[in-house]
Amino acid sequence: MDRRVGWLAAAVGATTGGIALALGGGTLGGLYAERAGMMELDALGPMLVGAGLGLWVGSAAGCWLALRVRNYEARSATTFALAAAMPIWVVVGLLWAQISQALPVPVMPPFGGLLSWIGLTLAAPAALTRLVVTRWVTRRVERATS
C-alpha cells in the first residue's frame, strides 16, 4: 500500500461534506415542515432528522470524495467504516458540548464550543478511521505477500 495515509484529506472531506449536507438537510426538513403546515416544535422534528441524516451521509460522502480526488487507496473501506462509526461520534460530540457548557469556568472562547464540536464530531472520526483502515489494509497486504 502507498505510504501516503490520507488522514488530512479524510478529515477535511468529512468536515466539508458533513456541514454542507447538514445545512441542506436541515433546510429541506424546514421546507417540508412548512409545506405540511407544522407549527413551532412540531417543525423541529423534520429539521433535526434532515440535519442528522445530512451530517451522517455528508461526512461519509465528503470523505470518499476527498480521498477519490487525491487518489488514495482503500477509499470505500474508509467510507463504510466512517459511516458505521458516525452515530457514535455524534453522541460523543453532543455529550462534549453539554459537558463543556455545564462547567462553571468557561473552557473555550465563544466560538470554541462550536469549533470543538465540529472537530470532535466530524474531523476526528474521519482521521482516526482513515488511520485504522490504512493500518488494517497494510497488515493484510503484508500477510498475503509473506
Q: Give a yes or no: residue 117 inside a domain.
A: yes
Whole-number pLDDT of residue 121: 81
Total domains, the chain: 1
CB 35 within 8 A of CB 4: no
Whole-number pLDDT of residue 10: 92
Q: Which three cell numbers stand for residue 29?
A: 426538513
CB 21 within 8 A of CB 54: yes
Q: Give a yes or no: residue 1 inside a domain.
A: no
- pLDDT tens per residue across span 83-136: 999 888 888 877 877 777 777 776 666 666 677 777 778 888 898 899 899 889
Q: Residue 36 is part of which domain span?
A: 7-141
User: pTM above 0.75?
Assistant: yes
